[in-house]
Amino acid sequence: MATGITDTISEGLGRYSIGEKLRSMRLRKSMGLVELGKHTGLSAALLSKLERGKLFPTLPTLLRIAMVFGVGLDYFFTDERKRRVVGLVRKGERVRFPERPGAPDVQYYFECLDYRATERKLSAFLADFQEVPVEKLKPHQHAGVEFLYVIKGSLAIRIGSEEFVLEPEDSIYFDSAVLHSYRRIGSKACTGVIVTVP
């Protein structure tokens, strides 16, 4: 009897293709299993089993992964044809992540602003920029374009070989395939909104 129930549960969960959705999201972000493991606190071996459908995730485990990719749990369980077009995120629901887990010099911490939207054409983040010595900056790049709006504080952003200084309410739009880095100027808090479009 127990085996029959287990088979029924496995069959029911299998229809949602959770592992395929996890792998697809990870590859779209060009993220390896080890890197995803650092963001979620889960082992690369466990993540691999989840992606291959050898193991089904618990809801807390799935939620940890979902928050890293900026999606809601319903992303994994709703019919593709019935995806919601409204995704409301309350301030108290957001989770703060470092730009690079475990790195000594973090350029910024971020909170996903749109993780509840299931059919996103863009990704939006609230960023808390840090004061990092210029020699310790680690430029990064990603496909698409990026838009950054400074809410408060002063921010230096280097794009390629050029550096731009942004003050409160300044904004900048650029090709994010070009190497870029951020650096807070001074000791006062500096926050902004980053929007990326793949």
Q: For the chain, which domains are there?
A: 2-80 (1.10.260.40), 91-197 (2.60.120.10)
Residue 84 above 60 pLDDT?
Answer: no
Q: Which two tokens stand for residue 106?
A: 């973090």
- pLDDT at position 76 is 82
- pLDDT at position 79 is 57
Task: Kindly indicate the confidence band of residue 1, based on its pLDDT and cuts at 50, 70 and 90.
Answer: very low
Over the stretch 121-178, which tens digit does the pLDDT of each residue have?
A: 889 999 999 998 888 888 999 889 999 999 999 999 999 999 999 999 999 999 999 9
